[in-house]
Amino acid sequence: MRPPTPKASASQASSPSAAATPVELRRVVVENLQPAVDEGRFPIKRTRGESIAVTADVFADGHDVLAGVLKYRGGSEWTEVPLTPGDNDSWSASFTVAELGNCEYTVEAWIDRFGTWVKELVAKAGAGQDVASELLEGADIIQHAASVRLKPDTTYGNDRDTANQEADVVSGLSRTDEDLRLLEIADLLRSTQPQPERVAAARDPELRRLMEARPDRSASTTATARRVVVDPERARFSAWYEMFPRSCTSNPRRSGTFHEAEARLPAIADLGFDVVYLPPVHPIGTTHRKGRNNTLTATPGDPGSPWAIGSEAGGHTAVDPGLGTLDDFDRFVATARHLGMAVALDIAFQASPDHPWVREHPEWFRHRPDGSIRYAENPPKKYQDIYPFDFESRESAALWAALRDVFLFWISHGVTIFRVDNPHTKSFAFWEWAIADIRQKHPDAIFLAEAFTRPRVMQYLAKTGFNQSYTYFTWRNSASELRDYLTELTRTSVKEFMRPNFFANTPDILHEYLQTGGRPAFEVRLVLAAMLSGSYGIYSGFELCENVPLRQGSEEYLNSEKYEIKPRDWQQPGNLNELIARVNEIRQAHPALQQNDTLAFHETENPAFLWFSKTAGTDRVFVVANTDPQWMQHGRIQMPIRELGIGPHQSYIVEDLLDGARYVWQGDWNYVKLDPTERVAHIFVIRD
């Protein structure tokens, strides 16, 4: 089939150059710009100080030499880094993000006329051919470059201002010393000096430097820019501790207060946590209040679920009277900050039937045909104490604004980290709009998506703006399951937009592994959560190895703290406080453990062993864990000695950071025994 012949006007037909469109003149193709999420539909994620390695496929017709730059900006001005060519037309460069907020990056490439000319000149001269004509051609290229206006802040070979996409030819202006030098070289190329001398002048590295600073980019090609959201470091590296302030009391018949919960903060800080996460602290409704163990009828004194938000005392911008006042909350936040911790607040967009909005804005809720408001359901489960919002109501604009303002209210009270309850049951469009709107003024805000649902839904929430995500870690317990899952999170495109937060347990989830594995199960899950993920968390009671389910086959706790006040003795025998503090201390001391990008799994002979490492610069930490909490496991594990520069017969020392024990190993395969009654894991570093 012959291609269609384009129609041309009379003026186009009379001039070949007039017939060519600007697109046709741009011979360079730039495609497959990476990293990218859905071809740029959503931004990638990084935290302040992280590097972004950018690649693109760059090529053109013919055999011309190409050149290009990576361009990035957080404001209006572009900064540029030269691209480096690689294999198969792939070009690359990197940059580091320094400021919170939004940034964008792209690749611009062009035909390097000077580089092409030098390449052909050298080839012809080397073959003994006459290059008189080529030298004259080069003189013209160099003379033209000497007339390109450079801005004063131009930096050759690194950052260059490229606001002008086309060469700006100057006439009648004084020239810089470098311009004069270029004109001297052009004159030399036109001179009658012997050709070898003129060819040598063309190959002078100084000339290359001057010409690289003055490229002809008039027909360059620029890829569609990609976006990156730059988050605070806590979005990448954080240790969360979930606590119920109302349980900070010695009397289970009376709610603990913020003041009493404040007294618990130093102990949490001593454990090494930097985020204290609170469930909803708002007034709790009384209509259809749930009783202990989620019974449908509450008895007098039952406090109800904190997620049934709203009463005559207020809604999402009020605190439960039993906890104290907003001033008390502010003091709690200030004390946590003084101890080096941030407060994270649970935001649950649902309402008790007693919520003020039910009376003031009934149009924000879904109604049955009889006019009554629908309560929440996940058939066959029913939640009669909760009304969901209608994100598609006729008054959705007002509803969305009100919900956004809930975040802004708590930000005004010092909270910038939010764990969002069940975001997958709310509008995707709302989250994309609200999070972007909030982060315009508060780029330090962090949103954690609590969505235990289908993978695509969880990933889409991360794309819409959530900085961190709950994961399937709770249900990945064997070594093979963990290897497969962590490979997905850290070695596929998911890593560009979804940051995992590995919670070892939650008020809703007590996995069978913890129910049946006893203290060793808690120990190994702690080590794995803290070592595998830059961010992890535990729900209070984990350090006491609480593991009694509501019933066999249930993941609900017996006497769940969601429905009752639950004082505890935090120093009771068998607690994990010392181990938790040591694990968090190790995380703080080793940059390798503060990110996920370098996670690498290594070979073992025993399938119950999970053997992995993380690296940051010269810091490398190795972890081997026994995922079987019931039985002693032993076998050999392979140390990647070639990567470490260790010879096959060379001895070396590995030190366990948990207890300081040292072992002399030799070669790549070495023996390990992990008995759950003694230890469930080693956290190794190599010592000289």
| CB 54, CB 34: distance < 8 Å | yes
**HSE, side-chain direction, 13 A CA sphere, residue 251:** 8
CB under 8 A, 24+ apart: contacts of 334-339: 334/414, 335/262, 335/265, 336/265, 336/276, 337/414, 339/265, 339/266, 339/269
For the sheet containing 28-34, what is the strand order? 28-34, 51-60, 90-96, 84-85
Task: Give the residue from 202, 221, 219, 176 showing the smallest Cα distance to 114.
Answer: 202
| CB 296, CB 290: distance < 8 Å | yes
* CA–CA separation, 468 and 296 (whole Å): 34
Round to the nearest angstrom and report the end-to-end CA distance of the chain: 71
Diameter of the chain by CA atoms?
107
Residues 6+ apart with CB under 8 A from 193: none
- Verify whether residue 450 is a known catalytic residue: yes
Q: Which of 64, 80, 231, 421 is catalytic?
A: 421
Task: Give the residue from 162, 148, 180, 137 showing the smallest Cα distance to 73.
Answer: 162
* CA–CA separation, 98 and 498 (whole Å): 20
| CB 624, CB 656: distance < 8 Å | no
Peptide bond into 252 cis (omega under 30): no
| CB 533, CB 500: distance < 8 Å | yes
Number of helices (H), then strands (E), belonging to the chain: the values are 19, 30
Q: Which of 108, 159, 390, 450 is catalytic?
A: 450
Q: Active-site residues: which are they? A: 421, 450
